[in-house]
Every structure is written in structure tokens, then in C-alpha cells.
Amino acid sequence: MDFNRWDDLEFRHLKYAIAVKAHQGFIQAAIALDLDQGFLSRQIQRLETRLGFKLFDRSMRPLGLTEAGGHFLGKAEQILAQTQRAVTLGQETQAGQRGSLNIGINTSIANSQLPAIVQAFCHQFPLVNLTLHELASYDQIRQLNSNQIDVGFFHQHNLSALSAGDSGPDTRSESVPERFANRQGFEVTSILSEPLVLVLPAQHPATHHPSVSLAQLNGESFVLPPSTKLSGLRGQIDELLSRTNCTPVIVQEAAWITTVLSLVAGNVGVSLLPANVTQLQRQGVVYRPIQEASPRLEIVAVWQPSNPSAPLKNFLAVIKSLNP
């Protein structure tokens, strides 16, 4: 076979021949293609010469296909369809409409804004595969650094703890997220601000009040987040208790919200947790707002600005549209 006769074929040649087949003649095909009929006829003849066989039986009315032409154009139609599909896939991938996204989450974002974010993103970009990873903030930071996740969600106070002890230049005029972004090389955006709430055993006397002063709980048993891995949150809780003249008896530390709730339900002690915990209906536990001014706990999204992921850019745009 002489490949030199057809190795310079272009997709337009196939398009021309397929149009002639579809319209069963050169006149209507030329009109559909917006070409001169004579030019179209010459292009088809040159194509047939390159191929070494006739595509059309010009003795038939309407114009018919030769057996070789039928086989060839059947495959040619598949080639064009597959090529168009490949182009569409490439365009959708470039635009972030296809692909995958790995997202680090914790209980706080899962109990608050995550459902709205996921619903909005999946509605706009249904072909992007989202994979959610339940991770503590320090694990999210590690996986962001190693590009195992594309974006993470956790509390701003954890950013403060991770930034603590940095010996870099004084940046006190900056917010905690800005300091963290500058020092770690990440971008940060705020998602939600929430107060602390009091978590009480169902049989606790304070449950009879719509809100509770922390001063009333002076000397009571408390279950609190640890001062190691969650030092940012614990620091804010300790400062609040000190400011409100409440000296707790810390009987247990627990990092996971579900563990804290279980201990409170078991009447081990009371606790203070971010307000999103109220979305968890745990038997044996009652939530109450505190009367004193609570610190605001900010949930943030964190990502690497150097991440080239197009789905990530779309995901961040969705977040910002929900939090203008």
C-alpha cells in the first residue's frame, strides 16, 4: 500500500465526503458546507485519487456509495466523532469541568458550610470527582505541603498555633491568616465565624436556663480539647475561662468532638466547643449559649497558590460566591 497517497489527508476532506454522503449529492452538500459545488466535486475526486478507490457511485440517483466507500466513510464518521469528543474532553479539562479534587475536612466544616459548598460545586461541575478526607488540621497542613490534598478546611486558631514560635519578621499588623499565608506559602480565605457554646450533661442543673454564665461553673469538672495538638482552641478556651472567673477542674482531655460529647453524656464533665457542634444531636447532651462574650472561631479554607488544578480554581470561586 502506498501510504504517501493519503498521509496528508485532513479532517476537512473527511468532512466533505461525509457531507456528500449525508445529502446524497454534491449540490445540497455544497450548500450545507457553504462551498462552491465545483470546488467540492474536485476535492472529492482528489480524495478518491489519494485513497485509490471510489467513494461514490455517480451512476446512481440519488448519489450512492460504493462498497469501499461505505466501509471507509463509516469509519471516517467514527474518527471525526472521536476527535470531536477528544477536543471536548480537553476543553472541559482545561476549564476545570472535568478532573478530580482532594479536599481535607474536619468535623467543624462538615457540620456547617460543607453541605452547601459541595452541593453548589457539584451542581455547576458534575463531572469533577470530589474526594473528601477527614483529617486533623496538622495532617491537612502536612498533606497540603505534599500535594496530597488540594484544599483544606479547619479553624483559624489552628493556623495561629501552627504559626506560633515563628522567628520571622514582626507582622502583628496582619491578620492570623495573612501571617500564616506569608510564612507557610499558603493562601487562606475565611468561610465562617462562630462562637463557643457550652456542652452540658442532660441532667445538669444549668440546662434549665436558656443561657449560662461561666462564672456559675467555677470549680466544676471540665472535658476540654488538649493543649498540645489543639493548642489554639485550648488557648482561647483557657483565656475565656480566666476572664470570666471560672476555674475549671480538668478531668479529661479529648481531641475528637465525638469523644468529648460521649464523655459529657456520661456525666464526666461539661465542655466548651465551637458552635457548629449543635448540629450534632447527641443523646444525653444539651447545648446552651454562654452569657459572656465568646471569642469568634473562624473556619478557613487553605490551599497552595502554586497548585495548577483548574477544578481547584473553580472550587475556590464557588466558595467565594457563597461567602461574598
Residue 4 DSSP label: G
Look at residue 4 in the predicted model and tell me its pLDDT: 52
* Cβ contact 132:103 at 8 Å: yes
How much is the pLDDT for 226?
A: 87
User: Mean pLDDT over residues 222-247, rounded?
Assistant: 87
Whole-number percent of the chain with pLDDT over 70: 88
pLDDT tens for each residue of 260-269: 999 999 999 9
In contact, 56 and 65? CB cutoff 8 Å: yes
Adjacent-strand bridge partners of 300: 154, 190
pLDDT digits (tens, 9 = 90+) for 285-296: 999 999 999 999
Which value, to the nearest 10 degrees, does the dihedral of the CA atoms of residues 284, 287, 290, 296 take?
Answer: 130
| Measured distance CA(185)–CA(178) in Å, rounded | 10
Residue 255, pLDDT score: 85
What local confidence, expressed as pLDDT, does residue 166 receive? Answer: 40
Q: Which is nearest to 109 in space by CA: 244, 247, 303, 301?
A: 301
Q: 207: which residues sit within 8 A by CB, 6+ positions away?
A: 200, 286, 288
Q: Are strands 151-155 and 297-303 parallel, antiparallel or unpaired?
A: antiparallel
For 60-73, the pLDDT digits (tens) are 889 999 999 999 99
Q: What is the DSSP letter of 290?
A: B
pLDDT of residue 36: 95
Q: Tell me the pLDDT tens digit for each residue of 130-175.
A: 999 999 888 898 899 899 999 999 887 665 555 444 433 333 344 4
Dist CA 226 CA 210 (whole Å): 28
Q: What is the pTM of this model?
A: 0.74
The residue-averaged pLDDT of 228-254 equals 88
Strand partners of residue 151: 103, 303
